[in-house]
């Protein structure tokens, strides 16, 4: 399991990154200032550092130069502005890649994997264990799903949606979160997009909004996936 260090001063962004990266199976440590980040990088020896360039105490570029004088840990710099000189300077100072905010966790994950693969420091991909929700088994690595032992044919988006909900089974997830994380549209889009995919997914699960078994719409809040027995909602819901 790659061990990551996220140096980011924005608390909301930091929390979102940590959640997304942990969901993807990384161990994540954080720092909110440049100096704390430098300290953590030296102390914890992470496999990779995600370094924000705009930090409150020391400029991220300077943190990178100090880090490079003591460590060759892979670094991906994150910059809020698509400013070429800043990016070029960071790459010249030893950054392995860069990412421009706002970015989705999928893009960051792809860059982390690419950097680790390029530097040969990645462990062989261990298949992620399946997630079980009642009779539903979701295999994240092979992107397969079975329901009561029978394979389900899902589109890539339906799979992503189901997998996201399965990892949060029993929790109500908002449409906004689904748009941001599954569709990578952090600024929001049409809630209808989510609803349409949910209705397709529901059909493939063999249920309806009026008689849900796994997929429960919680009016005005969002949706949750739960095993039929612990769904805890004997009343038919309308969604």
Catalog residues that contact Ca ion under the rule CB under 5 A: 9, 52, 54
β-bridge pairing 97-100 and 75-79? parallel
Nearer CB in complex with Ca ion: 51/205: 51
Task: Order across the sheet with 75-79: list the strands.
Answer: 27-31, 3-7, 48-52, 75-79, 97-100
Q: Which residue is nearest to Ca ion (CB)?
A: 54
Shortest CB 41 distance to Ca ion, Å: 17
Residue 148 CB, nearest approach to Ca ion (Å): 48
CB of 10 to Ca ion, least distance (A): 5
Residue 7 or 73: the one with the smaller Cβ distance to Ca ion is 7
Smaller CB distance to Ca ion: residue 41 or 198?
41
R_g of the chain computed on alpha carbons? 20
| 166 cis-preceded (ω within 30 degrees of 0) | no
Q: What is the C-alpha to C-alpha distance for residues 209 and 129, in angstroms, rounded to an integer? A: 29
Q: Which is nearer to Ca ion, 99 or 201 (CB)?
A: 99
Name the minimum Å distance from CB 110 to Ca ion: 22
Match 């261990």 to its residue by tokens. 126
- Compare residues 58 and 172 and give the one whose CB is closer to Ca ion: 58
Q: How far is the CB of 13 from Ca ion (least distance, A)?
A: 8
Q: Are strands 136-139 and 131-133 parallel, antiparallel or unpaired?
A: antiparallel
Please say which residue, 54 or 170, places its beta carbon nearer to Ca ion.
54
Contacts of 124 (CB under 8 A, 6+ apart): none
CB of 55 to Ca ion, least distance (A): 6
Contact between 96 and 89 (Cβ < 8 Å): no
């Amino acid at each position: 399991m790659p061990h990551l260090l996220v140096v980011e001063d924005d608390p909301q962004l930091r929390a979102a990154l940590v959640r997304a990266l942990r969901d993807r199976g990384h161990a994540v440590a954080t720092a909110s200032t440049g100096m704390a980040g430098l300290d953590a990088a030296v102390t914890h020896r992470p496999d990779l550092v995600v370094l924000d360039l705009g930090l409150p105490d020391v400029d991220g570029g300077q943190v990178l130069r100090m880090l490079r004088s003591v460590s060759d840990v892979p670094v991906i710099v994150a910059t809020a502005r698509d400013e070429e000189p800043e990016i070029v300077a960071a790459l010249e100072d030893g950054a392995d890649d860069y990412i421009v905010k706002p970015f989705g966790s999928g893009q960051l994950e792809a860059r982390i994997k690419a950097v680790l693969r390029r530097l040969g420091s990645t462990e062989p991909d261990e298949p992620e264990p399946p997630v079980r929700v009642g009779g539903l088994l979701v295999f994240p690595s092979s992107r397969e799903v079975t329901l009561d032992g029978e394979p389900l044919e899902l589109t890539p988006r339906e799979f992503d949606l189901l997998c996201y909900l399965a990892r949060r089974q029993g929790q109500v997830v908002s449409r906004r979160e689904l748009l941001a994380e599954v569709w990578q549209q952090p600024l929001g889009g049409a809630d209808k997009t989510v609803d349409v995919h949910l209705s397709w997914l529901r059909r493939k699960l063999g249920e309806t909004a009026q008689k849900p078994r796994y997929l429960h719409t919680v009016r005005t809040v969002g949706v949750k996936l739960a095993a039929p027995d612990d769904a805890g909602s004997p009343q038919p819901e309308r969604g």
